[in-house]
Amino acid sequence: MSRHAKTRHPVRNAIVLLFFLSGLVLLAARAVYLQVLNSDFLQSQGNQRHTRLVKDNSHRGMILDRHGSPLAVSTPVDSVWAHPPTLAEERRKWPRLAALLEMSPRELTQLLRRHEGREFMYLKRHVPPELSERVMALKIPGVALQREYRRYYPLGSVAGHVVGFTNIDDQGQEGVELAYDASLRAVPGTKRLLRDLQGNAVEVAESVVLPKPGRDLVLSIDRRIQYLAYRELKAAVFEHGARAGSAVVLDARTGEVLALVNEPDFNPNNRAGLRSGMFRNRAVTDLFEPGSTLKPFTIACALESGKYSPGSIIDTTPGVLQVGDRTFRDVHNHGVLTVAGVIEKSSNVGVSKIALALNKKSMWEMLRHAGFGQPTGVQLPGEVAGLLNPYSSWVPVEQASISFGYGISVTPLQLARAYLALANDGMALPLTLQHSETIPQGEHIMSSKTARRLQSMLELAVSDAGTGKAAQVADYRVAGKTGTVRKLTPDGYSEDKYVAWFAGFAPVNSPRLVMVITVDEPARGAYYGGEVAAPVFGHVMAGALRLLDIPPDAPRKETRLMTVKSGQVAE
């Protein structure tokens, strides 16, 4: 080897070494750049390609009746969703996917166009388990399932109006579901999903925010009494060809709503094809003139004034009374009656004469304190306050009309609240739809003596000689009042459209249940409250008293403690 060759070899080695050292420095610099200086960006890019944040749903709170039976529960279901950019690349698989989801390829194309540039879109919500399995069996990149919850209502139509329903996003829309939506609604969390090269979710990497389930709600409703009222009201509306009807049952001791039903009904589990009017809770949204069911409050004002007693004489002869340009009539000429007899025979003439002798402010205050003209406070959606004009606008004809339930509008629930005060010895209680073990604080709207006198009079109205005979319950003393009202139309009061009422409570010796029945426009056969609404009251009350194991206060072999003698009330 020559000397010149020997001198060039170390130089070549140095060049090669320098080349490798430079490469190592560049690699180290690149590593520092990627791992330190640009790590956040690269991590973000990696997450976008292989992970995504999705909603982690939880279940809505259950709605239970007072005994813990479910009225609304949430069941887990799957919804099919897709990652639009990934699905857009799988055009050849669209026809099979669209066929399973019961849509055309064109509809699927339009759906993808609407969600272009987005990371998430629903393909179909709340699918059956077998369908979700078939969709996933297609193994289409970018298509996955998300766990959601669907609301189920075990009582169906029986409690549809009071419980209400939710929409597909689990938000309350009607009834209790809407009124208490804030506490029932779940708070969703978020979770991070890992995706494979095809964009399919393979596992949950971590929970970012834990979901919070909604709170359970225990209602005052008793599902047994709810069903009983539903069955009897439905039968009566059908039998009489009525337009609609409502029934309300209250606990006389606590003001709790034990049952609230309406006809026509609807099934919250299947709302396809239903009109929005079917969802209306008529017991709190529909106003009617209460007719003769208001008479006890006129008599209460009369007794409180000191001008009258149950035995005071009222001459209703000849069964007709002219007040201004209006003529008030009784069905029959009842002649001379006591104040108790005015209630028993439901005399319009008698109660009008009494009302015209009273101070109109005192009469208005009695009605106002009974809750007329103001909401009941149960917080059901759509509740109306009713109509009670200020006493300053009353003229004699209006004062007389209001005394027997015309010129004032109430809801069935309002009337039930007013009768609760009569049953509770004059104590008005706030109404509630939530179950409570404590008795709320109320206020006296009349003296206990006046209330007990009215209880006796209302028992006469349900006697064999009264208008509410059909409301009687074997082995129990019942008190109540019928009402039959001509409906007001744009052309005046109708000659063939009526509202039939019955309001009452039982047992008289210690009232436990208050009930109001309304039947709107009975069109087949009878239309009087005593013939249409009173039998519903009797059937529901009989069943409810026995369901609650309330002891009888008038066994069949014993004579009534009340005596009917010339309209006199035994005190």
Which residues are annotated as catalytic?
A: 292
The three state secondary structure string of 368-420 is: HHCCCCCCCCCCCCCCCCCECCCHHHCCHHHHHHHHCCCCCEECHHHHHHHHH
Chain-centre distance for alpha carbon 156:
13
Residue ranges of alpha helices (H) inside 64-125 are: 84-88, 94-100, 105-114
Distance (Å, whole) CA 495 – CA 487:
8
Helices and strands, number each (H, E), in the chain: 19, 21
Q: Which two tokens stand for residue 269?
A: 């589990």
Distance (Å, whole) CA 475 – CA 497:
35
Task: Count CB atoms within 10 A of the CB of residue 32.
Answer: 11
Between β-strands 513-520 and 492-506, what pairing exists: parallel, antiparallel or unpaired? Answer: antiparallel
Distance (Å, whole) CA 482 – CA 346:
8
Residue pair 526/482 in contact by the 8 Å Cβ criterion: no
Angle at CA of residue 263, ends 431 and 410, nearest 5°? 45
Residue pair 259/155 in contact by the 8 Å Cβ criterion: no
Hey, is 144 helix, strand or coil?
strand
What is the helix (H) or strand (E) element at residue 103, kind and residue range? none
Distance (Å, whole) CA 175 – CA 379:
9
What is the helix (H) or strand (E) element at residue 232, kind and residue range? helix 223-239
Distance (Å, whole) CA 334 – CA 360:
26
Distance (Å, whole) CA 509 – CA 561:
10
Distance (Å, whole) CA 367 – CA 359:
13
**Torsion, Cα of 317, 466, 286, 61 (10° steps):** 160
**Exposed, middle or buried by CB within 10 Å (0-12, 13-18, 19+), for 11?**
exposed
Residue pair 474/544 in contact by the 8 Å Cβ criterion: no
Among 93, 71, 91, 87, which residue's Cα sits nearest to residue 121? 87
Among 214, 310, 223, 308, which residue's Cα sits nearest to residue 261? 223
Which distant-in-sequence residues (6+ apart) come within 8 Å of 327 by Cβ? 320, 321
Distance (Å, whole) CA 355 – CA 406:
13
Chain-centre distance for alpha carbon 102:
34
